Amino acid sequence: MSQAKVHAVLDAASVIPVLTLHDVAKAAPLAEALAAGGLRVIEMTLRTDCALEAMAEMKRAVPELYVGMGTLRNPDDVKASVDAGADFLVSPGLTPALAKAMLECDVAGLPGVSTASEAMSAKAMGFEALKFFPAEQSGGAPWLKSIAGPLPDIRFCPTGSISEDLAPSYLALPNVACVGGSWITPAKAIEAGEWSQITENAKRAQSLKPR
CATH code for the domain defined by 3-207: 3.20.20.70
Mean pLDDT of 79-96: 97
pLDDT of residue 209: 78
Q: pLDDT grade, residue 120 (50/70/90)?
A: very high
pLDDT of residue 211: 60
Give the burial string for 76-114 (b: 16+ CB within 10 Å, else e). ebbebbbebebbbbbbbebeeebbebbeebebbbbbbbb
What is the rounded distance in angstroms from the CA atom of residue 56 to the CA atom of residue 73?
Answer: 20
* Residue ranges of domains in the chain: 3-207
Catalytic residues, by residue number, are 43, 131
Q: Which residues pair with 155 in a beta bridge?
A: 129
Mean pLDDT of 75-90: 97
Nearest 5 degrees, angle CA 111-CA 113-CA 119? 95
- 14-29 pLDDT tens trace: 999 999 999 999 999 9
How many CB atoms lie under 10 A from the CB of residue 194? 15
